Structure 1
Amino acid sequence: MRALIQRVSEAAVTVDGETVGAVGPGLLVLVCAMQGDGEGEAGRLARKVANLRIFADAAGRMNRSLRDAGGEALVVSQFTLAAETRGNRPGFSAAAAPQDGQRLYAHFAEALRAHGVPVATGRFGAAMRVALVNDGPVTIWLDTAQR
């Protein structure tokens, strides 16, 4: 699975003008299931997101995790993270099939909750508008295939 995480002061996702998920300080997690991914990858990615030390400690150093900081996560599905960009038109054939992607997206969100992180979500497969205030900015790419 792939994820692009952004440390945020706040973030929200709307569908058809309705806010379906919002968080205060924490992370915006854009996530994509890839072909061949399973629950194991979703669980490892959730553990990494919950424990990645990218929040400031008392000395101002990135030394605290999302859990340590008491932050929230807004999890949004984004199959375009699977983009293959050899030419000028991206291809997305490396992304998991929609039914697998939806299942693993939900599993990732639940696994993150199981680590004690409050989680809000977008709506899988919907045309979403995501608004955020990036804190730092801090933006990190994670891929379970790259251990």
Structure 2
Amino acid sequence: MCTTVHAQSMPKPAPLEERMSHAEFMRLGLDKLSPAQLKALNVWLQTHGERGPSMDDYVPRSARAAGDDMGDADIHSSIVGAFRGWDAYTVFTLANGQHWKVSEDSQMTMRSIDNPKVTLRKGFLGSWLLSVDGSRESVRVSRVK
């Protein structure tokens, strides 16, 4: 008797260039990879999964930055007041009471939006990416309150 086991198909993770901001992609030097090298790196990430140990496994709990121990669930809220973009010094005040600071050398400007909805997603190595409804950009942030 022959038994066939079908693996449950997992969704393919998005390529790196879609998962990180353009500024982060450039800062990490990934723009210097050839198209073949970038493709190979994305294939490696797909085959090795993203569930391996994170830097949090090696960093003592007392040394972690505020906000790094919030789990992996997305955070949905809105920015309080007018949003016109960000630069390296921007602190976002959210309707849920949290405060998040831009943690990369990034800048983006756009027309003013009042109280836009935002989504924060857990990124690589315990980092967080903030995306604003109405903008195609995202920015790496860290929680300050």
TM-score (norm 1): 0.24
TM-score (norm 2): 0.24
Structure possessing the higher radius of gyration over alpha carbons: 2
More strand by share: 1
